[in-house]
């Protein structure tokens, strides 16, 4: 069970220029913190710093698309010993406002609790 292994999951919805983050407490399901960082080395460092501040304890990053827009962040985090989980691409709603980046970041977290679509990339 995920709650036996982790205290927090940091869901990430990556885009070309920015990444939306949502820190979720595993046991309660409460969203602890949300932010957006730039998709650059500086932004990746900022994301890790935010996780260290808001997700102290056992954590993993649940990233949608580790082979696409999330690849740089994935390399950055795994290179620093962070646990990264890959979340399969979320079903996109119509472009008429059905999807938000913060919402996708939170959904990435919740999908890690279900079977399928999640692959451990690195410990």
> Going from the N-terminus, what domains does the chain have, and what CATH number goes with each?
2-122 (3.30.420.10)
36, 20 contact by CB (below 8 A)? yes
CA distance 94 to 92: 7
Residue % of the chain over a pLDDT of 70 = 71
Q: What is the pLDDT of residue 93?
A: 46
Question: Could you count the other beta carbons within 10 Å of the beta carbon of residue 61?
Answer: 31
Mean of pLDDT values over 44-49: 98
CA 92 and chain centroid, separation:
17
Question: Could you count the other beta carbons within 10 Å of the beta carbon of residue 25?
Answer: 18
Q: How confident is the model at residue 118 (pLDDT cuts 50, 70, 90)?
A: very low
- Sign, CA torsion 71/123/31/98: positive
């Amino acid at each position: 069970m995920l709650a036996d292994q982790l205290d927090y999951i940091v869901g990430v919805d990556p885009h070309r220029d920015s990444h939306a983050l949502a820190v979720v407490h595993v046991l309660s399901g409460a969203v602890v913190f949300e932010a957006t960082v730039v998709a650059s080395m500086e932004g990746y460092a900022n994301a890790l710093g935010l996780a260290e501040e808001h997700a102290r304890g056992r954590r993993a990053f649940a990233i949608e698309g580790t082979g696409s827009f999330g690849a740089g962040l994935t390399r950055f985090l795994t290179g620093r010993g962070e646990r990264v989980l890959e979340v399969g691409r979320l079903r996109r709603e119509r472009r008429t406002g059905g999807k938000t980046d913060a919402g996708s970041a939170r959904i990435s977290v919740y999908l890690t609790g279900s079977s399928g679509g999640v692959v451990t990339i690195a410990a």
